[in-house]
Structure 1
Amino acid sequence: MEVLLAHRGGPFWSKRDLGAWSMPKGEYADDEESEAAARREFQEETGIEVTGKLIPLGTVRQHSGKLVTAFAVEADIETTDFKSNLFAMEWPPHSGQDKLFPEVDRIEWFSLADASNKLVAGQRPLLDLLSQATASAASAERCSGQ
Protein backbone atom coordinates (compact mmCIF):
# COMPACT_ATOMS: atom_id res chain seq x y z
CA MET A 1 0.00 0.00 0.00
CA GLU A 2 1.18 3.51 -0.81
CA VAL A 3 0.01 6.91 0.37
CA LEU A 4 -0.08 10.05 -1.76
CA LEU A 5 1.34 13.02 0.12
CA ALA A 6 1.66 16.68 -0.79
CA HIS A 7 4.75 18.75 -0.02
CA ARG A 8 3.80 22.16 1.28
CA GLY A 9 4.70 25.02 -1.02
CA GLY A 10 6.25 28.36 -0.22
CA PRO A 11 9.66 29.47 1.00
CA PHE A 12 9.25 28.24 4.59
CA TRP A 13 8.88 24.61 3.47
CA SER A 14 11.10 24.60 0.35
CA LYS A 15 14.17 23.00 1.97
CA ARG A 16 12.30 20.85 4.50
CA ASP A 17 11.49 17.21 3.95
CA LEU A 18 10.89 15.11 7.07
CA GLY A 19 7.74 16.32 8.78
CA ALA A 20 7.01 18.77 5.94
CA TRP A 21 4.49 16.70 3.96
CA SER A 22 0.74 16.62 4.38
CA MET A 23 -2.30 14.78 3.17
CA PRO A 24 -4.10 17.09 0.74
CA LYS A 25 -6.65 18.85 2.92
CA GLY A 26 -8.45 22.08 3.61
CA GLU A 27 -11.23 23.76 5.49
CA TYR A 28 -14.92 23.46 4.83
CA ALA A 29 -18.04 25.25 5.97
CA ASP A 30 -20.54 23.79 8.42
CA ASP A 31 -23.09 23.37 5.63
CA GLU A 32 -20.69 21.43 3.35
CA GLU A 33 -20.47 17.65 3.49
CA SER A 34 -17.00 16.46 4.51
CA GLU A 35 -16.76 14.07 1.54
CA ALA A 36 -17.60 16.84 -0.94
CA ALA A 37 -15.06 19.10 0.75
CA ALA A 38 -12.39 16.39 0.55
CA ARG A 39 -12.94 16.01 -3.18
CA ARG A 40 -12.94 19.79 -3.72
CA GLU A 41 -9.82 20.40 -1.63
CA PHE A 42 -7.93 17.57 -3.32
CA GLN A 43 -8.71 19.11 -6.69
CA GLU A 44 -7.72 22.60 -5.53
CA GLU A 45 -4.38 21.40 -4.15
CA THR A 46 -3.49 19.03 -7.00
CA GLY A 47 -5.65 19.92 -10.00
CA ILE A 48 -6.72 16.27 -10.09
CA GLU A 49 -10.34 15.17 -9.75
CA VAL A 50 -10.90 12.30 -7.35
CA THR A 51 -13.31 9.73 -8.67
CA GLY A 52 -14.34 6.54 -6.98
CA LYS A 53 -15.70 5.65 -3.59
CA LEU A 54 -14.12 7.47 -0.66
CA ILE A 55 -13.39 5.42 2.44
CA PRO A 56 -13.88 7.45 5.63
CA LEU A 57 -10.88 7.13 7.95
CA GLY A 58 -12.01 9.32 10.83
CA THR A 59 -10.94 12.58 12.42
CA VAL A 60 -7.77 13.55 14.27
CA ARG A 61 -6.87 16.73 16.13
CA GLN A 62 -3.56 18.28 15.09
CA HIS A 63 -1.29 20.01 17.60
CA SER A 64 -2.69 23.37 16.47
CA GLY A 65 -6.15 22.21 17.54
CA LYS A 66 -7.34 21.93 13.93
CA LEU A 67 -9.54 18.90 13.26
CA VAL A 68 -8.73 16.88 10.14
CA THR A 69 -11.33 14.49 8.74
CA ALA A 70 -9.68 12.14 6.28
CA PHE A 71 -10.75 9.83 3.49
CA ALA A 72 -8.92 7.28 1.39
CA VAL A 73 -9.55 6.24 -2.19
CA GLU A 74 -7.96 3.58 -4.32
CA ALA A 75 -6.61 5.42 -7.35
CA ASP A 76 -3.76 5.52 -9.83
CA ILE A 77 -2.64 9.14 -9.77
CA GLU A 78 0.25 10.39 -11.87
CA THR A 79 2.39 12.69 -9.72
CA THR A 80 3.86 14.71 -12.58
CA ASP A 81 0.51 15.98 -13.86
CA PHE A 82 -0.63 18.16 -10.99
CA LYS A 83 -1.29 21.86 -10.60
CA SER A 84 -1.79 23.43 -7.21
CA ASN A 85 -3.68 26.59 -6.42
CA LEU A 86 -1.59 29.61 -5.36
CA PHE A 87 -1.36 31.77 -2.27
CA ALA A 88 0.20 35.21 -1.79
CA MET A 89 2.61 36.17 0.94
CA GLU A 90 5.07 38.96 1.55
CA TRP A 91 8.43 37.73 0.32
CA PRO A 92 11.15 38.40 1.21
CA PRO A 93 9.95 39.29 4.70
CA HIS A 94 9.47 43.01 5.36
CA SER A 95 9.98 43.79 1.65
CA GLY A 96 6.46 45.08 1.09
CA GLN A 97 6.21 42.84 -1.97
CA ASP A 98 3.72 40.01 -2.26
CA LYS A 99 4.73 36.95 -4.25
CA LEU A 100 2.61 34.00 -5.34
CA PHE A 101 3.55 30.46 -4.30
CA PRO A 102 1.88 27.11 -4.96
CA GLU A 103 0.05 25.71 -1.95
CA VAL A 104 1.62 22.35 -2.88
CA ASP A 105 4.91 22.21 -4.77
CA ARG A 106 4.96 18.47 -5.42
CA ILE A 107 3.07 15.25 -4.72
CA GLU A 108 4.60 11.80 -4.30
CA TRP A 109 3.66 8.26 -3.38
CA PHE A 110 5.20 6.77 -0.21
CA SER A 111 5.08 3.48 1.63
CA LEU A 112 3.34 3.66 5.02
CA ALA A 113 6.72 3.62 6.81
CA ASP A 114 8.15 6.41 4.67
CA ALA A 115 4.91 8.40 4.89
CA SER A 116 5.12 8.29 8.68
CA ASN A 117 8.50 10.04 8.53
CA LYS A 118 7.41 12.56 5.91
CA LEU A 119 4.05 13.59 7.39
CA VAL A 120 3.59 16.45 9.80
CA ALA A 121 3.28 14.93 13.27
CA GLY A 122 -0.40 15.78 13.74
CA GLN A 123 -1.44 13.71 10.70
CA ARG A 124 0.56 10.56 11.49
CA PRO A 125 -2.37 8.95 13.37
CA LEU A 126 -4.26 8.98 10.04
CA LEU A 127 -1.87 6.30 8.78
CA ASP A 128 -3.00 3.99 11.61
CA LEU A 129 -6.62 4.72 10.69
CA LEU A 130 -5.79 3.91 7.05
CA SER A 131 -4.18 0.60 8.05
CA GLN A 132 -7.21 -0.29 10.18
CA ALA A 133 -9.65 0.62 7.39
CA THR A 134 -7.84 -1.44 4.77
CA ALA A 135 -7.48 -4.40 7.14
CA SER A 136 -11.23 -4.25 7.88
CA ALA A 137 -12.05 -4.04 4.18
CA ALA A 138 -9.80 -7.02 3.39
CA SER A 139 -11.38 -9.03 6.18
CA ALA A 140 -14.88 -8.19 4.93
CA GLU A 141 -13.93 -9.27 1.40
CA ARG A 142 -12.62 -12.60 2.70
CA CYS A 143 -15.81 -13.16 4.70
CA SER A 144 -18.08 -12.41 1.74
CA GLY A 145 -16.05 -14.60 -0.61
CA GLN A 146 -14.94 -11.78 -2.92
Structure 2
Amino acid sequence: MAGKRSAGLLLYRGPADAVEVLLAHMGGPLWARRDTAAWSVPKGEYVPPEEPWDAARREFAEELGLPPPEGRPFPLGEARQAGGKVVTVWAVESDLDPERVVPGTFEMEWPRGSGVFATFPEIDRVAWFRPHEARERLVAGQRVFLERLAERLATGA
Protein backbone atom coordinates (compact mmCIF):
# COMPACT_ATOMS: atom_id res chain seq x y z
CA MET A 1 0.00 0.00 0.00
CA ALA A 2 1.25 3.48 -0.84
CA GLY A 3 2.14 5.89 1.97
CA LYS A 4 -0.06 8.75 3.04
CA ARG A 5 -0.09 11.87 0.91
CA SER A 6 -0.99 15.40 1.81
CA ALA A 7 -1.29 18.65 -0.18
CA GLY A 8 -1.44 22.29 0.83
CA LEU A 9 -1.14 25.96 -0.02
CA LEU A 10 1.56 28.25 1.39
CA LEU A 11 0.28 31.81 1.16
CA TYR A 12 2.82 34.62 0.99
CA ARG A 13 2.59 38.40 0.82
CA GLY A 14 4.90 41.37 0.47
CA PRO A 15 8.07 42.05 -1.49
CA ALA A 16 10.82 39.41 -1.65
CA ASP A 17 12.97 41.30 0.88
CA ALA A 18 10.12 41.53 3.41
CA VAL A 19 7.96 38.54 2.53
CA GLU A 20 5.65 36.93 5.09
CA VAL A 21 4.11 33.46 5.00
CA LEU A 22 0.84 32.26 6.51
CA LEU A 23 1.13 29.27 8.86
CA ALA A 24 -1.51 27.36 10.80
CA HIS A 25 -1.00 26.21 14.40
CA MET A 26 -2.15 22.62 14.77
CA GLY A 27 -5.24 22.24 16.93
CA GLY A 28 -6.11 19.78 19.64
CA PRO A 29 -4.72 19.03 23.07
CA LEU A 30 -1.43 17.52 21.86
CA TRP A 31 -0.31 20.87 20.36
CA ALA A 32 -2.00 23.35 22.71
CA ARG A 33 1.10 24.36 24.67
CA ARG A 34 3.64 24.02 21.87
CA ASP A 35 4.91 26.73 19.56
CA THR A 36 8.22 25.45 18.20
CA ALA A 37 7.61 22.92 15.40
CA ALA A 38 3.84 23.05 16.04
CA TRP A 39 2.81 25.03 12.97
CA SER A 40 2.11 23.79 9.47
CA VAL A 41 1.33 24.83 5.93
CA PRO A 42 -2.49 24.60 5.70
CA LYS A 43 -2.80 21.12 4.20
CA GLY A 44 -4.51 17.79 4.48
CA GLU A 45 -4.54 14.21 3.30
CA TYR A 46 -5.90 13.00 0.02
CA VAL A 47 -6.23 9.70 -1.78
CA PRO A 48 -5.69 9.31 -5.53
CA PRO A 49 -7.41 9.61 -7.94
CA GLU A 50 -7.99 13.03 -6.33
CA GLU A 51 -5.34 15.34 -7.76
CA PRO A 52 -2.94 17.03 -5.28
CA TRP A 53 -3.87 20.54 -6.51
CA ASP A 54 -7.57 19.84 -6.00
CA ALA A 55 -6.83 18.40 -2.55
CA ALA A 56 -4.73 21.43 -1.57
CA ARG A 57 -7.60 23.78 -2.43
CA ARG A 58 -10.21 21.56 -0.72
CA GLU A 59 -8.13 21.21 2.42
CA PHE A 60 -7.46 24.95 2.58
CA ALA A 61 -11.21 25.57 2.57
CA GLU A 62 -11.87 22.81 5.13
CA GLU A 63 -9.12 23.84 7.55
CA LEU A 64 -9.55 27.62 7.36
CA GLY A 65 -13.25 27.86 6.57
CA LEU A 66 -12.47 30.26 3.72
CA PRO A 67 -12.29 29.78 -0.05
CA PRO A 68 -8.78 29.15 -1.36
CA PRO A 69 -7.08 32.24 -2.80
CA GLU A 70 -7.36 32.96 -6.50
CA GLY A 71 -3.72 34.04 -7.01
CA ARG A 72 -1.46 32.31 -9.52
CA PRO A 73 0.10 29.25 -7.84
CA PHE A 74 3.58 27.95 -8.37
CA PRO A 75 4.70 24.51 -7.24
CA LEU A 76 7.13 24.13 -4.35
CA GLY A 77 7.34 20.39 -4.96
CA GLU A 78 7.18 17.51 -2.52
CA ALA A 79 8.85 16.69 0.78
CA ARG A 80 8.75 13.54 2.90
CA GLN A 81 7.98 14.19 6.57
CA ALA A 82 9.50 12.21 9.44
CA GLY A 83 6.48 9.89 9.64
CA GLY A 84 6.81 9.05 5.94
CA LYS A 85 3.92 11.17 4.67
CA VAL A 86 4.68 12.92 1.36
CA VAL A 87 3.53 16.55 1.32
CA THR A 88 3.02 18.53 -1.92
CA VAL A 89 2.79 22.32 -1.62
CA TRP A 90 2.02 25.27 -3.88
CA ALA A 91 2.83 28.89 -3.04
CA VAL A 92 0.16 31.49 -3.77
CA GLU A 93 0.58 35.24 -3.35
CA SER A 94 -2.42 36.43 -1.37
CA ASP A 95 -3.40 38.42 1.68
CA LEU A 96 -5.68 36.85 4.25
CA ASP A 97 -7.00 38.30 7.50
CA PRO A 98 -6.37 35.68 10.23
CA GLU A 99 -9.45 37.00 12.09
CA ARG A 100 -11.67 35.65 9.28
CA VAL A 101 -10.56 32.03 9.75
CA VAL A 102 -13.24 29.59 10.92
CA PRO A 103 -11.38 26.30 11.40
CA GLY A 104 -12.81 22.87 10.68
CA THR A 105 -12.98 20.37 13.54
CA PHE A 106 -12.10 16.77 14.31
CA GLU A 107 -13.12 14.36 17.06
CA MET A 108 -10.76 12.29 19.21
CA GLU A 109 -10.72 10.40 22.45
CA TRP A 110 -9.34 12.69 25.16
CA PRO A 111 -7.77 11.94 27.48
CA ARG A 112 -6.57 8.86 25.64
CA GLY A 113 -8.07 5.69 27.02
CA SER A 114 -10.86 7.57 28.82
CA GLY A 115 -13.65 6.56 26.46
CA VAL A 116 -14.62 10.24 26.27
CA PHE A 117 -14.63 11.87 22.85
CA ALA A 118 -14.24 15.60 22.36
CA THR A 119 -14.27 17.92 19.35
CA PHE A 120 -11.23 20.10 18.63
CA PRO A 121 -10.34 22.60 15.90
CA GLU A 122 -8.06 21.24 13.15
CA ILE A 123 -6.09 24.44 13.56
CA ASP A 124 -6.48 26.79 16.48
CA ARG A 125 -4.98 29.89 14.88
CA VAL A 126 -3.18 31.21 11.82
CA ALA A 127 -0.59 33.97 11.65
CA TRP A 128 1.78 35.71 9.27
CA PHE A 129 5.52 35.27 9.89
CA ARG A 130 8.74 36.42 8.30
CA PRO A 131 10.68 33.34 7.05
CA HIS A 132 13.19 33.35 9.94
CA GLU A 133 10.27 33.35 12.42
CA ALA A 134 8.37 30.73 10.44
CA ARG A 135 11.33 28.36 10.27
CA GLU A 136 11.44 27.59 14.00
CA ARG A 137 7.66 27.28 14.24
CA LEU A 138 7.15 25.07 11.19
CA VAL A 139 7.34 21.29 11.58
CA ALA A 140 10.79 20.20 10.44
CA GLY A 141 9.62 18.24 7.39
CA GLN A 142 8.01 21.36 5.86
CA ARG A 143 10.88 23.83 6.33
CA VAL A 144 12.18 23.00 2.86
CA PHE A 145 9.15 24.80 1.41
CA LEU A 146 10.36 28.09 2.94
CA GLU A 147 13.73 27.58 1.25
CA ARG A 148 12.10 26.81 -2.08
CA LEU A 149 9.86 29.88 -1.82
CA ALA A 150 12.86 32.10 -1.02
CA GLU A 151 14.77 30.71 -4.04
CA ARG A 152 11.78 31.30 -6.30
CA LEU A 153 11.26 34.87 -5.09
CA ALA A 154 15.00 35.65 -5.34
CA THR A 155 15.17 34.51 -8.96
CA GLY A 156 11.82 36.02 -9.92
CA ALA A 157 11.12 32.80 -11.85
Q: TM-score, normalised by structure 2?
A: 0.84
**Stretches of 4+ moved more than 3 A in 1?**
none
| Map of 1:5 onto structure 2 | 23
State percent identity of aligned pairs.
51
Aligned length: 138
Output the CA distance in 2 between the equivalents of 1:24 and 1:10: 15
1:31 lines up with 2:49 in the alignment: yes
Structure 2: segments with no counterpart, 5+ residues? 1-18
Match for 1:108 among 127, 147, 150? 127
Counterpart residue type for residue 10 of structure 1: G
1:117 lines up with 2:136 in the alignment: yes
Between structure 1 and structure 2, the one with the greater Rg is 1
Match for 1:75 among 94, 97, 100? 94
Per the TM alignment, residue 134 of structure 1 is displaced from its structure 2 partner at its CA by: 1.8
When the two chains are superposed, the root-mean-square deviation of aligned CA atoms in Å is: 1.1
Output the CA distance in 2 between the equivalents of 1:48 and 1:73: 15
Output the CA distance in 1 between the equivalents of 2:119 and 2:32: 14
Q: TM-score, normalised by structure 1?
A: 0.90
The answer on whether the counterparts of 1:35 and 1:54 sit within 8 Å (CA) in structure 2 is no
Counterpart residue type for residue 3 of structure 1: V
| Map of 1:22 onto structure 2 | 40
Per the TM alignment, residue 22 of structure 1 is displaced from its structure 2 partner at its CA by: 0.5
Per the TM alignment, residue 133 of structure 1 is displaced from its structure 2 partner at its CA by: 1.9
Structure 1: segments with no counterpart, 5+ residues? 141-146
Output the CA distance in 2 between the equivalents of 1:103 and 1:26: 10
